[in-house]
Amino acid sequence: MAKLRVKNCTGCGACANICHQQAIRMVEDERGFLKPQINKNKCTNCGLCEKICPALHYESVNASLPKVCAFINKNEKTRFKSASGGVFPAFANYALKNNGIVFGAIYDSDMKVCHTKGESREEISKMQSSKYVQSDTKYTYQEAKNALDNGKFVLYTGTPCQIAGLNSYLGKDYEKLLTIEVICHGVPSRKVFEMYKKEFMQQHNDKILDINMKDKVPGWNAAMIRIATATSEYSFNSSEDSFMLSFLYNLSINAPCVNCKFNKLPRVADITMGDFWGVDDFDKSLNDGKGTSIVLINSPKGEKYFDKIVKHEQPLIKDVPIEVAVRQNANIVRSSEPHHKRKQFFKDVAKGSKTLEALIKKYLFASKYPKTVMVIYKILPPCIKNPLRKIVQKLLFRL
């Protein structure tokens, strides 16, 4: 993989999946991002890894101007568990009803994010809701190919670069393969996530069992996080959470994410899904506070299966102009801008001498706000402080 500079690697795992000699494995680098590690004793220099690498060779054949619509799942329980309008479970239900297999990101037993396959509603439910961490695709591309070659319907979900990796690995289109990508802000460091979990467990002297990074109990727009431990549950604002702040301000995201070749039109997957931010400016009747999705239908196959979903699941849908979708979801057409102190942040992370909370204060609050501003904020009455905090939260989630 001589041609591939480390800074271009998205960590999709296509190279590890294609290597017939099992000479490549994905390992975390010093910043906590998955990169290919090559065993030179096993490598035969066949060149397959370079040939299929989406960071080197990938151009989407999908529509430059996709069909766009708002989407609300009619099943309230399903929509509540989802990050926004319940798009993924609607497609997953179709896959299960047709004896198919679903691939998506979950927390494993160690609370690490990875891709796995699901063939039951219980397994699918673990894939719902947002997990703002780089997911290890492991060998799910191989599993998906085996299922497709055996005539199974496969639904594969992930970030745009992961879908590009799957498509490159497969090398051809399958009629029974449907791909769904999330509108991606960028993937945060797995190492930073480990710091976050460790500090939380030390602070509360308890083990984390689950993290919901977009808790909808107080409402879709509330921007809350819920962490379940062995003995209790904690809920707090994203604007006060060290991990979410590192993510939303682009301190902890991967280097290729700030110059992403997949966050553009035409999109990579058959279907693109995300939160319909700005829905009130388009049609207030589409926002009941429980979550509304924006959906881009990027290919004829995507349209075919979307029509099947509409027929069987009967969601509420409404056509939306592409410019409306992009207005507050800029990652549909462009990458996120890196924080100007991102490199220094990761140097401090590598040193391991400061907590994540201390680093956030150093790189965000201390540098962004003068001490006098922070002092004034602390003494503000709740009637002013709380609305101000909500405004900041809304702005953060639209960056």
Does the structure show a pLDDT above 50 at 281? yes
The stretch 32-57 carries a mean pLDDT of 95
What integer best gives the mean pLDDT of the chain? Answer: 92
The stretch 76-89 carries a mean pLDDT of 96
Does the structure show a pLDDT above 90 at 387? no
Question: Considering the chain, what percentage of its residues have pLDDT values greater than 90?
Answer: 87
Question: Considering the chain, what percentage of its residues have pLDDT values greater than 70?
Answer: 90
- Partners of 182 in beta bridges: 273
Per the structure block, which two tokens stand in for 122? 């219980």
Confidence of residue 397 (pLDDT cuts 50, 70, 90): very low
Confidence of residue 41 (pLDDT cuts 50, 70, 90): very high
pLDDT in tens, 208-227: 999 999 999 999 988 899 99
The stretch 303-330 carries a mean pLDDT of 97
pLDDT in tens, 336-349: 999 999 999 999 99
Helices 140-149/160-170 angle, 10° precision? 50
With the CA atoms of 190, 191, 196 and 197 taken in that order, what torsion angle do they form, in degrees rounded to the nearest 10?
70
Contacts of 284 (CB under 8 A, 6+ apart): none
The stretch 95-106 carries a mean pLDDT of 97
pLDDT at position 389: 59
pLDDT in tens, 127-179: 999 999 999 999 999 999 999 999 999 999 999 999 999 999 999 999 999 99
Does the structure show a pLDDT above 80 at 1? no
Least confident of 267-276, 377-386, 390-399: 390-399
What global pTM score does this model have?
A: 0.91
Asked whether the beta carbons of 180 and 273 are under 8 A apart, the reply is yes
- Structural domains of the chain, ranges and CATH numbers in brackets: 6-52 (3.30.70.20), 67-187+253-332 (no CATH), 190-252+338-396 (no CATH)
